[in-house]
Structure 1
Amino acid sequence: MGTNTQFFQIAAIIISLAAFGEAFWLYKWVKALPASNPQIASIGKLIKNGANTFLKKEYETLARFCGVAAIIIFVFLPSPIWMGNPLDNVIVVVAYLCGTIFSAIAGKIGITVSTIANMKAAEASTKGIKPSFMAGFRGGAVMGMAVVGSSLLGVTLVLILTDNTTALLGFSFGASSLALFAKAGGGIFTKTADISADLVGKVELGIPEDDPRNPAVIADNVGDNVGDVAGMGADLFDSNVASMAAALVIGSDIDTINGNTINSSMVLCYATLGLLASIIGVATARIGKNGSPTRALNSSTYITTGVFAALTGAATYAFNFEWRIWLASIIGLLVGVIIGIASDYFTNDTKKPVHIVATASESGPAFTILSGISYGFISAFPAMIGIGVSALAAYKVCEPLGPGYAMFGIAMAAVGMLSIVAMIISNDAYGPIVDNGRGLVEMGDLGDTALEITDSLDSAGNTVKAITKGFAIGAAGLTVIALLGTFISEVNVKITELNIATPDLHMPALTGFDIMDPLVFFGLLVGAAIPAVFSAMLILGVQRNAQRMIKEIHRQFNEIIGLREGKKGVVPEYDKCIEIATTGAIKELVPAGLFVIIITVLVGFIGGVKATGGFLTGNIISGLLFALFMSNSGGLWDNTKKYVESGHNGGKGSDTHKAAVVGDTVGDPFKDTAGPSINTQITVVSLVASLLSTFFLTMSIF
């Protein structure tokens, strides 16, 4: 059989539709589960309304931003409208808007299913661990199937309709710009509520985590949905699209030179088989009557990994693809698993680092913070080495195939690492669903056995979340290295065009970036500083918002008579806290996102393509380090708190517990606001640079 791209495009569409089919079946299965508890139904309704209100306001704000961005893109990209073909500009604008719409839909689907699945998981916990686990996992899997199905379908349709890789970058930029704001906004919302609820509830008043007396408790549960489900869905949608876009741009450049379509076909084939492997993995996920939820989640990931390796091996043989490129993909996939295992070691409450931080907490919160930060920094080391080794190995394995293949190898390692992303999203979305389920069990007073079951499901969600975050950051690392290759290849295409148009120009092609060149070094320093400033802006946003909410919680406890004592019929004003979190998050999310885009454009116009190359390199290295450090130290503090709460080192209510809660409060914006937003930030600046490469080449100051 020949390697006709059309065949693989049709296959990609069929498998995407199969993923939507499975998502719909799982959604129906979750919705059909029994729901009879009126208390849970009324609290679940409050959570659902709060999440939808926030999402509506956030999307209204982002629609205005996207509208302005679309006008700018129409005027300037891929070349100024007065200089090029206006139709090309229209194509890029439409692709950009489609990217934002697909990304927004991914978030909306996540909210819709998670706010149903949390109630079902809560009620199922009265029947045992198995039904409750399946409700949480299958709810999360709806998200996994829908997000990856729509990203593969979107990329394939853009390719079929435009046959234009710049349009593909436009689609990817739409997805990543929306993801950047959705992740930042959701992260600020969720951590505002979480920190406020913890500091007033646990530290000041000594009341349980999800006590219905706490005015911030519903906002906290809403936050799990808008931050960890909708934001994370948009984030991984973006990573998946960006990895495919980078591989397709580099692959089609090589194909153009060689006069075939084999590399583009290979990207589509592997992405399609990754989704197929995830469909199989989700369908086979099971847990025994008294099984371990962590083992069930991890084993389904390993099954998916094995199925992907086997399917792509068979396809490589059948379609006569290059075995070296297959090997690069498998290297990416295995390193993703290894990064996940490393993250697990530093954050799992059965492992040594958590126990050491819990012991340190006996001496007060200062030692909780110091030990947690130290282990967070150490944890970044194996992951950074993993990303570096996989990039180097993929580069060297594919280098003998000819010019361009080394960078294509790195791009395919990223595609390999993200091939099982539907499974990763399913595991990740499971976490906030069962976390909400646990809260509903406590608020609905379903008894100690149900609470123990949802506690163990929540603990597994936290452990797996650390693995999936490590995986997502590792994949983003490889993707942005590939996007750096995309930037070079876009610049070189333009240099060739300029040399043809002006025969005596003789502009040399770009082969890399010499850090001894002052322009490159200038860009490197600015790029390395961006993740730190971006993180600070988001964390300060959380802090300002949380201070406003804590004032409101104090007001309610002081003014609403009988609330503190928990008198029957006395209900806090939950909507006031939801309103504070919503307004603050929307106010804080735009400046941080705009800051990184504006600085990228300024560096390009000042120093041209060389400074931009340095900027991207510095941004990638510093961004990966910050993202890994913050995600892992945050996860470590969270599980230390849970470890102490389960009766170790003094248990609940002790001074150790208070110190651990302070650590968790610091870790919250680390792991759920700044950390996961950084990998989207790196992707956004890489895509802005690639899209504006023509300007940076022809119109810079130096």
Structure 2
Amino acid sequence: MDFDLVPLVAIGAAVLAVAVAGALAAAVLKLPAGTDRMQEISRAIQEGAMAYLSRQYKTIAIVGVVVTIIVAVTPLGIPTAIAFVIGAVFSGLCGFVGMFVSTRANARVAEAARSSADKALNVAVQSGAVTGLTCVGLALLGVTVTYLAFGREDLHVLVGLGFGASLIALFARIGGGIFTKSADVGADLVGKVEAGIPEDDPRNPATIADNVGDNVGDCAGMAADLFETYAVTTIGTMLLGFLFFDGATEYVVLPLMLGAVAIVASIIGLFAIRLGGSDHIMRALYLGVWVSAILALIGFFPVTQWMVDNNAYFFAALIGVVVTMAIMYITEYYTSTRYRPVRSIAEASKSGAATNIITGLSVGMESVVLPTVAIVGGILGSYLVAGGGNEGIYAIGIASTAMLSMTGVIVALDSYGPVTDNAGGIAEMSDLPDGIREITDRLDAVGNTTKATTKGYAIGSAALAAIVLFADYTHQLEVEGLGGGDLEFSLNDPFVLAGLLLGGAVVLIFSALANGAVGRASGAVVDEVRRQFREIPGIMEGTGKPEYATCVDIVTKRALKEMMLPGVIPVVATLLVGFLLGPQALGGLLIGVIVVGIGMACMQNNGGGAWDNAKKYIEDGNHGGKGSEAHAAAVAGDTVGDPLKDTAGPAINPVIKVVNVVALLAVPLIVAVT
């Protein structure tokens, strides 16, 4: 069989995804953008978002150029450096495209809400689909083209692409997270708590910065994050196929074919999202995920039969999809206002901020258990269904690839969140009728849950991807002459134990720096908002105009400054441990980062999401509603949870991939000097 045609099929599917994304973008941008006031506010958000993104990319580009030169002059060579650039550029492009469309779709969603919730939902989903399809299209295109250009001669070159994607995603997640939560926390603490004005009130000087932050964090950041997860997982599974099956082409290119099938399924799934006569928005969104998953599995069966003639790999793909759905529903349970965890935090708010925070921490810690069980089940299930051994580890890679088959739809649902959030802000600041704000609020309330579930999905996929990458690391060591019993990762080895402890410490110091950055930057926003309330006459009466640009500038500068240190720590720590302590310690570090990272990511993501929706549950009129003591306590809890769920928590995903990719990339260099 001529499996050499598979990369061409993958390129065709990738181009199809990008073409459909372009058509959807054109359709969204043709829609009416509302009144002059709505367009004015939307333009302010556009300008702030694009200004931040351009400055962020310029800052990251400096790091990227340095890394490219270093990679090119080492034995890794120029092809690996070129792959690094491809990964970095495509990852950045995903964020740019998503930001461009989402910041223009917000006013159009608010305008569509004049007609119906169904039309507003469709516009929001279409704008999100642009980001989702661009993400999977560019990821599959980048991996496939790099494979055709360099990978047939040296598949290890593809790791350079993964490194470029991971590094950009890490900085995008940190910088975007610091920006969005600094503005959000600052706006809430002064606006809601001190001044007693509603969220997105135009009198709040930080409200434009808050709306800008929704896009740079949850749109551009998530797009870059899942782009790199998709690319890194595909590359890792291709490497396993090469190492375990003597370079057999069918095992190397199977992940590319699965990706091609999944793109077609995702396009159909996105068009299946319709509200119709129902009011259940979440059900409509999940319908798209289910349609995508089922169609992907239908396509996976003949593909696996044709290429490898082994039912085990289809069942591994099925397990991967089941794990995805399980993690999404578990995350929804812990972050939706309909269930016990969020309502328990709201109930605790009646006793004050302290009990709110204690209960929120408890919910966050509890929420780690079930996703971990699901991930463990996915790892063991896919390993055992293929009979264990090398085939079982490759099956874990197939399960990971299958998990990412829904990336297009998942990113669309995540991008839906900031678009509907912005639409609500525009409706509030434009003084639109209450009925429109009610529709945008309904869409936004669901958006909070979709953002949490997509982060849960990203965490789960990161876990399985990390297992694949660790297997690649150990087998690459064997290729370099350190396998066959000469290298074991045993707790009896003090170097392995040292690496384990250092790996956990990397995750903790990263989280500390990311959350601390939000605390420092939001303090500067609080001071600025208070200054404007104090010094600009007529703000509270609506006769004075706040200086929105000042707050945008503050969080932009602080985010760019604060993202550098946590961004370089995972890379530097990995290289230091590898070169100074050796391959055993580095293997321990990778394990420590995976174990501690998954737990910390789940705890922060789910706990923060639960705090956020507990506040919204009270704002809906429960436990005294807005302005009550319970509401004040819930706002305090929400401000604690904000950086956890939108800065440190989701940024741990690329941290896990960065340390594994850097270790895998550096194996030949480490072996040479140890």
TM-score, normalised to structure 1, is 0.94
Does residue 198 (structure 1) correspond to residue 188 (structure 2)? The answer is yes
Distance 1:508 1:61 in 2: 44
The answer (yes or no) to whether the contact 1:266–1:321 under 8 Å persists in 2 is no
Distance 1:554 1:369 in 2: 25
- Hey, what does 1:368 align to over in structure 2? 356
Does residue 619 (structure 1) correspond to residue 607 (structure 2)? The answer is no
Report the AA paired with residue 524 of structure 1.
L
Give the secondary-structure state (helix, strand or coil) at the position aligned to 2:199. Answer: coil
Does residue 305 (structure 1) correspond to residue 303 (structure 2)? The answer is no
Spell out the pairing of 1:542-691 with structure 2 (5 A cutoff).
Answer: 542-567=518-543, 570-691=544-665
Does residue 425 (structure 1) correspond to residue 411 (structure 2)? The answer is yes
Distance 2:534 2:220 in 1: 34
Distance 1:646 1:244 in 2: 43
From 176, 198, 204, the equivalent of 1:208 is: 198
- Hey, what does 1:456 align to over in structure 2? 442
The answer (yes or no) to whether the contact 2:191–2:199 under 8 Å persists in 1 is yes
The answer (yes or no) to whether the contact 1:362–1:655 under 8 Å persists in 2 is yes
Identity of aligned residues (%): 40
Q: Return the offset for 1:323.
A: 1.2
Could you say if the C-alpha distance between residues 674 and 318 of structure 1 is closer, same or farther in structure 2, counting changes exceeding 3 Å? same
Distance 1:437 1:36 in 2: 11
Could you say if the C-alpha distance between residues 273 and 653 of structure 1 is closer, same or farther in structure 2, counting changes exceeding 3 Å? same
Give the secondary-structure state (helix, strand or coil) at the position aligned to 1:495. Answer: coil
From 460, 463, 469, the equivalent of 2:455 is: 469
Distance 1:447 1:382 in 2: 43
Distance 1:59 1:509 in 2: 45
Distance 2:510 2:75 in 1: 26
From 473, 480, 489, the equivalent of 2:475 is: 489
Does residue 247 (structure 1) correspond to residue 237 (structure 2)? The answer is yes
Q: Return the offset for 1:511.
A: 6.6
Distance 2:75 2:293 in 1: 39
Distance 1:691 1:260 in 2: 22
Distance 2:487 2:142 in 1: 31
Spell out the pairing of 1:328-367 with structure 2 (5 A cutoff).
Answer: 328-367=316-355
Report the AA paired with residue 68 of structure 1.
V
Does residue 186 (structure 1) correspond to residue 176 (structure 2)? The answer is yes
From 145, 166, 169, the equivalent of 1:176 is: 166
The answer (yes or no) to whether the contact 1:129–1:289 under 8 Å persists in 2 is no
Distance 1:332 1:474 in 2: 10
Report the AA paired with residue 61 of structure 1.
T
- Hey, what does 2:516 align to over in structure 1? 540
The answer (yes or no) to whether the contact 1:383–1:474 under 8 Å persists in 2 is yes
Distance 1:231 1:512 in 2: 37
Residues 120-143 of structure 1 deviation map (CA, whole Å, 9 limit, x = unaligned): 001111111011111111100000
Does residue 25 (structure 1) correspond to residue 23 (structure 2)? The answer is yes
Q: Return the offset for 1:626.
A: 0.2
Q: Return the offset for 1:31.
A: 0.9
- Hey, what does 1:95 align to over in structure 2? 83
Spell out the pairing of 1:281-320 with structure 2 (5 A cutoff).
Answer: 281-320=269-308
Report the AA paired with residue 50 of structure 1.
G
TM-score, normalised to structure 2, is 0.98
- Hey, what does 2:433 align to over in structure 1? 447
Give the secondary-structure state (helix, strand or coil) at the position aligned to 1:419. Answer: helix
Could you say if the C-alpha distance between residues 511 and 388 of structure 1 is closer, same or farther in structure 2, counting changes exceeding 3 Å? farther
Distance 2:33 2:95 in 1: 25
Could you say if the C-alpha distance between residues 664 and 655 of structure 1 is closer, same or farther in structure 2, counting changes exceeding 3 Å? same
Q: Runs of 4+ in structure 1 displaced over 4 angstroms?
A: 509-512
- Hey, what does 2:14 align to over in structure 1? 16
The answer (yes or no) to whether the contact 1:239–1:479 under 8 Å persists in 2 is yes
Q: Which moved more, 1:672-681 or 1:324-333?
A: 324-333
From 228, 232, 245, the equivalent of 1:238 is: 228
Distance 2:273 2:488 in 1: 45
The answer (yes or no) to whether the contact 2:487–2:584 under 8 Å persists in 1 is no
Q: Return the offset for 1:77.
A: 4.2
- Hey, what does 2:99 align to over in structure 1? 111
Distance 1:131 1:686 in 2: 43
Residues 645-699 of structure 1 deviation map (CA, whole Å, 9 limit, x = unaligned): 0000110010100100111101100000000000100100001100111232232
Distance 1:494 1:318 in 2: 33
- Hey, what does 2:380 align to over in structure 1? 392
The answer (yes or no) to whether the contact 2:272–2:287 under 8 Å persists in 1 is no
Q: Which moved more, 1:426-435 or 1:404-413?
A: 404-413
Report the AA paired with residue 92 of structure 1.
T
Distance 2:310 2:17 in 1: 28
From 413, 435, 439, the equivalent of 2:399 is: 413
Distance 2:547 2:531 in 1: 11
Q: Which moved more, 1:380-389 or 1:211-220?
A: 380-389
Report the AA paired with residue 41 of structure 2.
I
From 25, 48, 66, the equivalent of 2:46 is: 48
CA RMSD of aligned residues (A): 1.3
Does residue 228 (structure 1) correspond to residue 218 (structure 2)? The answer is yes
Q: Return the offset for 1:320.
A: 4.8
Distance 2:307 2:475 in 1: 27
Residues 530-556 of structure 1 deviation map (CA, whole Å, 9 limit, x = unaligned): 111101001111111111111111111
Distance 1:126 1:543 in 2: 38
The answer (yes or no) to whether the contact 1:515–1:614 under 8 Å persists in 2 is no
The answer (yes or no) to whether the contact 1:608–1:699 under 8 Å persists in 2 is no
Report the AA paired with residue 218 of structure 1.
I
Report the AA paired with residue 292 of structure 1.
H
Could you say if the C-alpha distance between residues 307 and 607 of structure 1 is closer, same or farther in structure 2, counting changes exceeding 3 Å? same
Report the AA paired with residue 219 of structure 1.
A
Report the AA paired with residue 591 of structure 1.
L
Give the secondary-structure state (helix, strand or coil) at the position aligned to 2:279. Answer: coil
The answer (yes or no) to whether the contact 2:533–2:540 under 8 Å persists in 1 is yes
Report the AA paired with residue 355 of structure 2.
F
Give the secondary-structure state (helix, strand or coil) at the position aligned to 1:373. Answer: helix
Q: Return the offset for 1:289.
A: 4.2
Does residue 434 (structure 1) correspond to residue 420 (structure 2)? The answer is yes
Q: Which moved more, 1:270-279 or 1:316-325?
A: 316-325
Distance 2:295 2:382 in 1: 21
Q: Return the offset for 1:253.
A: 1.5
- Hey, what does 2:501 align to over in structure 1? 525
Give the secondary-structure state (helix, strand or coil) at the position aligned to 2:489. Answer: coil
Q: Return the offset for 1:293.
A: 1.4
- Hey, what does 1:36 align to over in structure 2? 34
Residues 95-136 of structure 1 deviation map (CA, whole Å, 9 limit, x = unaligned): 001110000100000111001111100111111101111111
Distance 1:105 1:152 in 2: 14
